[in-house]
Chains A and B, each alone.
Chain A
Amino acid sequence: MICSRRNALIFSCVLIAFGLPAGFSTDAHSQTTQASEALSEQHKLLVTRGTEVFQRCTACHRIGPDAENRIGPHLNNLIGRTAGSIAGARYSDAMKKAGQDGLKWDANTLDAFVADPTSFIEDTTMGLDGVEDAEDRKALIAYLSAFATGSSNIPETPAARGLPSADPGIPAEILAIKGDPEYGEYLSSECLTCHQSSGSNRGIPGIVGWPVEDFVVVMHAYKSRKRDNPVMQMMASQLGNDEIAALAAYFQQKGQ
């Protein structure tokens, strides 16, 4: 289970890794690996196609580590985002209202919106004619999803030098610890010296809204020195299992 999740982390890293070195380790768990490699091969093709479709959006939208609002809002962390909710971005009143009424962006709502924007939100200011081809839309959404919070923005560093894998192989009882978000909030102040509370990915990865399990796995990989970043190894080495769980609980909650 951990194994397949780890592979998911690895390939999602490739998607976002504009600035990051693309060397990553192969995994010894062969069966799962083969299956997910085939899957990830397919997914990669889809995302490549999505990159091309996204060219139709770039006149108004930016995505990626340095993305800022332009004519339209930046599109990082779009999946799960409430419509019309990015501070400082320009929206039509219709879009803001849709958000207030509870519209959230996920694969389904995005698909419908992108297929025919004005029939989905009549007064939207988005000037796109609509992406007719369903496969193109799927590709676009796969591409956009790669910049979402959660496991996909966790930078998968190569396993520390000389190690075959960054998988910390944590036992189920550690994964099962229920963290105390209040304690997590206090501990988080140490993280927020570098990781921005807005969840921005600039220079240092955003960690707001990560799923608890990803957070725990990654922190234990630093703690056991299976990931390389020395600042993170140092930080993780100071944290006990309960503290890691507390932080994971807090940061997930903060993203909601």
Chain B
Amino acid sequence: MSISRRHFMVGTALTTSALAIPTFLRAADKPKVVVIGGGAGGATAARYIAKDSKGAIDVTLIEPQQAFTTCFFSNLYIGGFRTFESITHDYRTLEGTHGIKVVHQMATGVDKAAKTVTLADGSSVPYDKLIVSPGISLKWDSFPGYTKDASEVMPHAWQAGPQTQLLKSKVDGMKEGGTFVMVAPPNPYRCPPGPYERVSMIAHVFKQKNPKAKIIVLDPKEKFSKQGLFQAGWEQHYPGMVEWIPASIHGGIKSVDVATGEIKTDLDTFKSDAANIIPAQAAGEIAATAGLTNDTGFCPIVPGSMQSQADPNVYVLGDSTIAGDMPKSGYSANSQAKVCANAVRGELTGSKVFPAKFSNTCWSLIATNDGVKVGASYEAKPDKITSTGGFVSKTGEDAALRKATFEESVGWYAGIANDIFGA
């Protein structure tokens, strides 16, 4: 058998020089993975598949942005602890070191029968396996009056980039002694502690530059992640500055008016001098277009592999998924991406598939050197990804531990940024 194969190769090598490359290495014959979305989930999956398959799989990453600003640590940017550049990453290492083809376009459709992805310019890209990690879409109808245009005045800053810069400028430039209003998002949303870390960072700015300013949080929920820790931190570092009002007290957001700065609730009308409105969320639009979502607006997946329940050749990661007990976080998306990469490689090249393990930790900064964290580990049960145990920082921890927790988060950021975008 090996002899006839050798003869075959020699023969073809004589006819065309292109075929001198052993057949199994030719790009046209390699299995193809296409990844939609170059964020925490998508870029990690692309990188791990390319890195671990050592060139045996052809990986294309579709992402409209030239550079990706992480939502994680974007609150620290607002608080003045990080520069915008330090939270922005390009795709050069993924292209250069890992040989991933990065296409800077929007994916506009998926033909699951033909196994192709359509791009904004009308071209299409074929795949054997498709990975979809488009993050979230914002539901513009969730607070009456809050539209995409309105977000240019009252930013959401829940997708990082110019929105984050706009929010920072609103915070820095708010009139002296003014009122800042945040409308927090209803469940489920990306980064459960995110709004409250943001409140802390805005309070940190006000404490230095605008000490008479007030922050009002209008929350559609009754409780929130790490609530005790945040509220104790606000009392300690920013006494009297932050007022958190749950739905049972304000009765619901009735309307948002960017022209007057007014936010109406059942209880009262709140007049803001600057505001941050974070609307309800659903899976990234392309996930719905591709028919991967169910009536929750998110994508059901197979817990052990992140395979879409709608199509065995498609995998979904990160914020767009219904990931059981896992929160929507960058850490989760990165963790899921590795499980998915292992499964996809196994399918395409027969590499060993190891059992899924997931974990998550979310660090939050409350004030200078006052870091807290919450985390858990998970396993894939047949019906859903299930928590197997976790931890959370405690109120009253000493300053040294809080500082160590903050320093740990800085290390985590450096680590995960390298893990997603390559070092």
Contacts and interface: CB of A to CB of B under 8 A. Distances in A.
B423 interface: yes
A186 interface: yes
A198 interface: yes
A187 B357 contact: yes
A190 B338 contact: yes
A183 B418 CA distance: 22
A230 B373 contact: yes
B127 to A, nearest CB: 23
A190 B335 contact: yes
A190 B400 CA distance: 27
A202 interface: yes
B389 interface: yes
Interface stretch (B111-119, B156-164, B276-284, B402-410): B402-410
Contact of A189 (B331, B338, B407): B338
Given A186-B342, A234-B389, A196 B415 contact: yes
A186 to B, nearest CB: 5
A197 B93 CA distance: 15
Contacts of A187: 354, 357
Interface in B36-89: 48
B416 interface: yes
A182 interface: yes
B331 A193 contact: yes
B223 to A, nearest CB: 22
A189 B48 contact: yes
Contacts of B414: 196, 200, 202-204
B411 A21 contact: no
A234 B354 contact: no
Interface string A210-247: 00000000000000000000110111011000000000
Contacts of A21: 400, 404
A190 B411 contact: no
Interface residues of A, number: 27
B377 interface: yes
Contacts, number: 86
B359 interface: yes
B389 A183 contact: no
Contact of B375 (A196, A200, A234): A234
Chain A facing B: main interface SS: loop
B308 interface: no
B357 A198 contact: no
A203 B354 contact: no
Interface string B333-348: 0110010001000000
A192 interface: yes
Contacts of B373: 230-231
B140 interface: no
Given A193-B419, A203-B407, A186 B375 contact: no
A174 interface: no
Contacts of B412: 193-194, 203-204
A233 B392 CA distance: 12
B388 interface: yes
Interface size class of B (residues with CB under 8 A): 20 to 34
By CB atoms of chain A within 10 A, which of B338, B412, B415 has the most? B415
A13 B413 CA distance: 24
A192 B361 contact: no
A25 to B, nearest CB: 16
Interface string B360-390: 0100000000000101110000000000111
A234 B410 contact: no
A183 B414 CA distance: 25
A19 interface: yes
Contacts of A137: none
B8 interface: no
Contacts of B413: 203
A229 to B, nearest CB: 8
B24 interface: no
A203 B411 contact: yes
Contact of A197 (B334, B407, B423): B423
A195 interface: yes
Contact of B410 (A183, A190, A198, A203): A203
B357 A230 contact: no
Nearest to B406: A203
A122 to B, nearest CB: 34
A202 B410 contact: yes
Contacts of B389: 234, 237
A200 B412 CA distance: 12
B340 to A, nearest CB: 11
B6 interface: no
Nearest to B388: A238
Interface in A14-46: 19-21
Contact of A192 (B376, B388, B391, B419): B419
A203 B418 CA distance: 14
Interface of A: 19-21, 182-183, 186-187, 189-190, 192-198, 200, 202-204, 230-231, 233-235, 237-238
17 contacts: A19-B407, A189-B338, A190-B359, A193-B335, A194-B412, A194-B416, A197-B419, A202-B414, A230-B375, A231-B408, A234-B376, A234-B377, A234-B389, A234-B390, A235-B359, A237-B389, A238-B388
Given A203-B408, A203-B411, 18 more contacts: A186-B352, A189-B419, A190-B335, A193-B335, A193-B415, A193-B419, A197-B419, A200-B414, A202-B410, A203-B412, A204-B414, A204-B415, A230-B373, A230-B375, A231-B391, A234-B376, A234-B389, A237-B377
| 6 tightest A-B CB contacts, nearest first | A203-B411, A204-B411, A230-B391, A203-B410, A189-B338, A194-B415
